[in-house]
Each structure stands twice: as C-alpha cells, then as structure tokens.
Amino acid sequence: MKTRVAVVYGGRSGEHEISLRSAESVIAALDKDRYEVKRYLIGKDGRWNPGPILPEPGAHPEIDVVFPVLHGTFGEDGTMQGLFELADLPYVGANVLASAVSMDKDVMKRICRDAGLPVVECLVLNREEMDAEAVARQLPFPLFVKPANLGSSVGISKAHDMSELTAALKTAAEFDRKVIVERGIEGREFECAVLGNEDPAASVPCEILPSREFYDYEDKYLLNQARIDLPANLTPEETAEMRRLAVACYLAVGCEGMGRVDFLRETSTGKFYINEINTIPGFTSISMFPKMWEYTGIPYSQLIDRLIELALERHAQKTVTRFTR
C-alpha cells in the first residue's frame, strides 16, 4: 500500500507565497509509486481547503503522515505541530517546543548562549517600548532590526543611523510584538543543513553572496541575482567547525527531522556566529536546504523519503510512551 502523505501548506503568514512554491516542489518530488498525496491548503484568512485536520486521535484514518510545508507564523512556530500532536498524527520536522523556540530569535539566542554557542549581541524590545535613542546608546551602528518571530527576511531592515533605526523599529513592529536589534556583523553569510532525530548530521555548507546590502526578501525570491557558492569557500577546518556548530545548535533547541542553521562570519575577527535556525526551511527549486543535501550525497527525492521515515520513526517511539498512571 502507498503511504498517504498529507501536505499542509499556505498559511496565515508573511511567507504564504513561499510556502506555496515549496509545497509544489515537495509534491512533485514524492514518488507516485510509493506515496498518495493529500493536499491541505490553508488560505491567508486561515481557512482550510478542503477542510481542516481535526485535533482528535483517530479522526483521520486516511492520513499516514503529515508533511507541513508552512513557513513562519502559525506553521513553523509550534502552533501547527500542537494540532498534529493532538490529532496523534506522525509529522515531518521539529516538535512543538523546538519549533516555538527556533522561531523566536530571542529565545533561540538565549538557549544557544546557555549552551556556549556564539551568537551576536542584541537587544529585545516590545512594540510598546520602541526607544531608538536608548538602542543607539547600547549598540553601535550599523544595526539589524528584525521581528522576533518571522522568516524569509520579512520585516528586516539594516539601520545605519538614527533615522533609519526609527523607521526600522516601526517596520519590524508591524510584524511582531517583540523586536530584536542586533549589532551589524560586517562579513560573510553561510548556511548549513541538518538532518536526523537523535543522531543528526550536517551537510556541506554553502555561502550566500547577496546582490544587495544583505540577503533580504527581494534578493531571496524576486531578483534572482544573489550568488551561491556550494561548497562554501572555507578551509577544511572552518567547514568542520561550521558543521559542528550547526549540529550543536540543532541539538540545543531540541530540533528533529530537519533544520537549516544560518551563520555569519565576521571579517575582522574570523569568528562564526549562529544567526538563526529554520525548522521548516525552504523547499523551492532554488532553496538551499535540498541543494546542500544533494551536494552532500542525498538527492531531493531521497531527502523527502528520509524526512518521512524520520517522522514515522519518532511517532513509533512516542506510541510506547505512557501518558497516564
């Protein structure tokens, strides 16, 4: 019998359109001889088509495993994972806690710091307490201003002076109640993919060479002018260190299934900084998560197979766990 895969995509997020593109790539890569695809499209208004997955065990005997291809809010932040847990359905990717932790850049940084991992200095502000002058007194320009819970560089700005900082805080606050302001790192940008449950492995990393001042939404998805170096132009020792840090970050936040860890390398010091971890990285035709694994030896279709296997393995382990006395 074919494995029945529910692909959930779209969603109430600023990354809705990217999710649509990722989902089509995943569906196209699923072996039609092995899998039967069931589509669940969530509109920008939160409505499900053809209908919602219900938070009730046994309510969906037609689903063997869920493959969420949801980026950002209400999909990558633990909310959707909570629904799948309530429905007692196997699902691809991180669990509720790891999803929520990884989505929140503030909490992710705290956990990485506690684990002794390198993260950039930052300040965290609430929407009601946006004080640009206070920020400028504590961190030097240039600064990066980001919504704490979002991806694909939506709502992110680079501020070089007070005027730009004020505008950047306002923009970021439109996308989240919590805003994070980071010291701007002058250097290079890298990505490294991680795969696995208890014993994860990291791929060969790549370097992102933006066509703009930083790798923003337009550069990622619209302009098609950014350059990617795969493998990244690093020494063997630097490559090994980045892969080590990627796995360490993945384990620190409790990630499972998959993740993409983004790095900055400061030119003046040569130091690597963990920028963020994405628990549902992009799966479009140009996305680096599958490209890095393909270079490392796992083609796209096999990567999809492995992610489904990891989801089913984790769920099988969960079935032997006691939840009552």
Nearest Cα neighbor of 18 from 263, 218, 231 is 218
| The 3-state secondary structure of 67-108, one letter per residue | EEECCCCCCCCCHHHHHHHHCCCCECCCCHHHHHHHHEHHHH
Nearest to 177 by CA among 217, 216, 142, 150: 150
310: nearest Cα among 194, 199, 202, 197: 197
Active site (catalytic) residues: 15, 152, 221, 260, 262, 276, 278, 282
Give the CA distances from residue 19 to residues 13, 178, 285, in Å, rounded to whole numbers and listed in that order.
Answer: 9, 23, 12
Query: Exposed e or buried b for every residue in 125-152, given b needs 16+ CB within 10 A?
Result: bebeebebeebbeebeebbbbbbbbbbb
> Rounded to a whole number, what is the largest CA-CA distance in the chain?
63
User: Which residue is listed with tokens 């989240």?
Assistant: 176
Cα separation, 38 vs 80, in Å, equals: 17
